[in-house]
Structure 1
Amino acid sequence: MTLTPGKLAGLKAVSDARGVIAAAAMDQRGSLQKSIAKERGGQSSSHDLEVFKTNVTDVLTKHASAILLDPEYGLPAAQNLNGKGLLLAYEKTGYDANTPGRLPDLLHVWSVQRLKEAGADCIKILLYYTPFDTKEVNEFKHAWIERIGAECKAFDIPFFLEFVGYDAEGGDEKTVEYAKKKPSIVRGAMEEFSKPRYGVDVLKVEVPIVMEFVQGTKAFKGEAAYTREEAKALFVEVASVTELPFIYLSAGVSNPVFIETLELAGESGVKYNGVLCGRATWKDGISIYAKDGEAAFRQWLETTGVENIENVNRALASATPWTEKVNA
């Protein structure tokens, strides 16, 4: 993989001194607003989102290499980066629930050019994807990603593609049955979007296993999809399909579970290149913000929130620099 000057500069901007991406994620929108409202027992507003994101960004970027924000509610927070890198999301939150296949859409009043002008060092897209959906659905998604890749190439800015798997047959993604399917879903997505035609620079991927179904882990809840040794082998086997840099997302799990996941990845020897970690760092602060207000939330961030992200940073000792996978 060869990087152009703009893409190289963008990746360096969001990485630590080792060349590892140790970034925080704070681009949640609809789900965050609903969570605040639920904890408050009432309503939440766009102002709540801006305040929440600004506090998370100001506190956690002191301990991260970068942060991922959205341009809808996150731009005020982008004034508090503490000299760290900025990734901006380009997709609408969620997906079209009225048509099959979880089809994506872009923010209507934004473009790669506008995101770059707003200060983005890198562009992020989230795509719900499984290689086992219909040809019609996946061709739509393939062409959609090709357009975004071309746009990022035109403006010489790194393209981070995040994909989240699902059961094309409509099954529950929280079951052991889905956990057994997950490795092939993650593998298929990584293999497909590593093709040069898409112009992706960094893959932001789910881990290929579900920790609560891994025997021999602290997260294990009694029903097994894989042994500990099988899980470690899956980390390496799934990653073998790509030569691109890739990082792991936390996918909403708790901080202890995400730390144990990264420890398992480290034991496996998989050559991952960092994380974009959101809810595993700040999720438990939602109720504090909703019930006790901004000052209490800020205090929680500066103590427990910082402890959470430092836990992640220590676990990232097993990550390898993305510079080993690219040519400048």
Structure 2
Amino acid sequence: MIKLTPGKLAGLKAVSDHRGVIAAAAMDQRGSLQKSLAKERGAAADAHDLEQFKTLVTSVLTKHASAILLDPEFGLPASKHRNGKGLLLAYEKTGYDATTPGRLPDLLDHWSVARLKEAGADCIKILLYYTPYEKSPVNDLKQAWIERIGAECIAHDIPFFLEFVGYDADGGDEKSIGYAKKKPEIVSGSMAEFGKEKYHVDVLKVEVPVEMAFVEGTKSFKGEKAYTRAEALQHFRDAATMTHKPFIYLSAGVSNPVFIETLELAVESGTSFNGVLCGRATWKDGIPIYAKQGAKAFEDWLNTTGVENITNVNNALKLAHSWHDKVESK
């Protein structure tokens, strides 16, 4: 059992439903969202577009979510429209430093945990690109970085959510079958590492340990097999045994039907996952509507298709486990 201080316990409760399941929406995309909007529109997207898009997503989807994840750069106006639900704020800069190898992370220049808490955050979220197969000096640097953030969150008694996204240390394509075969070990190894006490992470926000397009016997299967359905289920179980901490799944940009099938597989495998932080699987298909038809059309789409998407996710979470089973208060 993990021992939680009063502040950390209160923060986790603020972003969870009455069962202790985290059914949170994610809207902290910045660079990728700006590029997608510009591509669909055929003209640049500015800060106003990002703020308006985030505000519309937040005001509609938080009626059906336990919390919203936003960024302090463009998301603070949206945070005023979250229907009384919990708030996670991102602390990292968008993307990673492409000029040096190893996908090194960086923190937002003008923010600290104290400032994010002051801005209304119930929890702090960090995204880290990580693979256990990266060179040791690179991973040592990333691990020290996470230790520092963990200490900062302890100092301000606020929960620390760590999201890690795997990649191919050899520069291979992450959409390939070759990477799909490596992914179970990358996810399991990352969960084992950052579940260690020295990082003081409270909730691990993890990728599922398989690529659904390569799981034979699923609706998402595209014809090239990396794993049978039985093997995929075992990969879910193996990854889950790597930590005793609460963990939630991220949607990783897949479509709503693929994410729903992913969660069904997680439930079938019997893992004790504690919810989701789901972004693009609920609102991604609305990007062209906002870009081409404007805010009102996007709001209408969110109120229909967007709500349908998040309802699908909530239904898939009915068999998620309460994080209360994994923690006790100090």
TM-score range, shorter chain: over 0.9
Superposition TM-score, scaled by structure 1 size: 1.00
1:180-211 deviation digits (Å, cap 9, x = unpaired): 00000001100000111001000000000000
1:318: Cα distance to partner? 1.8
Structure 1 residue 245 corresponds to structure 2 residue 240 = no
1:58-101 deviation digits (Å, cap 9, x = unpaired): 00000000000000000000000101000000000000000000
**Which residue pairs with 1:210 in the alignment?**
211
Distance 1:188 1:241 in 2: 8
Distance 1:186 1:219 in 2: 20
Matched ranges for 1:1-328 at <5 A: 1-328=2-329
1:127-147 deviation digits (Å, cap 9, x = unpaired): 000000001100000000000
Distance 2:324 2:155 in 1: 22
Q: Secondary structure at the match of 1:226?
A: coil
Q: Secondary structure at the match of 1:190?
A: helix
Distance 1:233 1:188 in 2: 15
Distance 1:139 1:261 in 2: 32
Q: Secondary structure at the match of 2:224?
A: coil
1:317: Cα distance to partner? 1.1
Distance 2:96 2:319 in 1: 34
Distance 1:17 1:225 in 2: 38
Distance 1:318 1:181 in 2: 28
Distance 1:76 1:42 in 2: 24
Q: Secondary structure at the match of 1:93?
A: coil
Counterpart residue type for residue 220 of structure 1: F
Distance 2:44 2:237 in 1: 45
Distance 1:27 1:241 in 2: 27
Distance 1:165 1:214 in 2: 18
1:263: Cα distance to partner? 0.4
1:89-122 deviation digits (Å, cap 9, x = unpaired): 0000000000000000000000000000000000
Q: Secondary structure at the match of 2:63?
A: coil
1:179: Cα distance to partner? 0.3
1:43: Cα distance to partner? 1.0
Distance 1:35 1:292 in 2: 15
Counterpart residue type for residue 229 of structure 1: A
Counterpart residue type for residue 199 of structure 1: H
User: What is the percentage of aligned positions where both structures have the same residue?
Assistant: 75
Deviation beyond 4 Å, 4+ runs, structure 1: none
Q: Secondary structure at the match of 2:18?
A: coil
Counterpart residue type for residue 232 of structure 2: A
Structure 1 gap ranges (5+) = none
1:299: Cα distance to partner? 0.1
Counterpart residue type for residue 294 of structure 2: G
Q: Secondary structure at the match of 1:62?
A: helix
Distance 2:238 2:200 in 1: 23
1:42: Cα distance to partner? 1.1
Counterpart residue type for residue 253 of structure 1: V
Distance 2:180 2:318 in 1: 27
Q: Secondary structure at the match of 2:328?
A: coil
1:21-44 deviation digits (Å, cap 9, x = unpaired): 000000000000000000001111
Q: Secondary structure at the match of 2:65?
A: coil
